Amino acid sequence: MEYIWDILLLSVALAMDCFTVSIVSGVILKRYQWVTILSMSFFFGLFQSLMPFMGWLGTNQFAHYIEDYDHWIAFGLLCFLGINMIKESFADEEEKRFNPTSLKTQLVLAVATSIDALAIGISFACTGYRHLSQLTFPLISIGLVSFIFGILGQHLGVVFGETIRRRIRPELLGGAILLFIGIKILLTHLYGAE
């Protein structure tokens, strides 16, 4: 059961970038355009689940060479990503002007928001995910949560506008979750805590 919660928390953390971009998209759209909302959310979910698979596939081939240090690698990657997300939450960034209805824009955003998920795939390979069947639940969870958060974010952007972006700081929450998971992995390996 703890495994399921860890994967769900990881899925939420990875979906925070999608959520943030979706809010901005909803603010720009100013009304419900369901084709845009569903297609953008679909691409978010697809790439968020594809990138961990690619990271895992590339790393799994040589994971047995680094298994004595794999928990440190996973800890380092997750902390690096978490700290970067937390720093981004405090940065004054100019709102990027983009056309959410453009397929090209949707694909670029989906790839850009899923780069962090590539590192998660590497951490999967370093923490004992040796077979593709072990990735089924994590990949489905990551993709589905990103899809749902894409729809939710655009809904909130349409309904509440720009004020929601300043109040929630989704990157801060996502970064804190990644840090928590990284520390938990390290302590579990070092001290055998279950």
Q: How far is CA 154 from the centre of its chain?
A: 17
The residue type at 88: E
User: Which residues, at least 6 apart from 78, have a Cβ–Cβ distance to it below 8 Å?
Assistant: 119, 120, 123, 178, 179, 181, 182, 185
Are the CB atoms for 45 and 144 separated by under 8 Å? yes
pTM value surpassing 0.75: no
pLDDT, tens digit only, all 194 positions of the chain: 678 888 999 999 889 888 888 887 887 787 899 999 999 999 999 999 999 998 888 876 665 666 677 678 778 877 887 787 777 767 665 444 457 888 888 888 888 788 778 888 888 887 778 888 888 999 999 999 999 999 999 998 888 876 765 666 666 766 777 788 778 878 877 886 44
* Cα 188 to Cα 74: distance, rounded to the nearest angstrom: 12
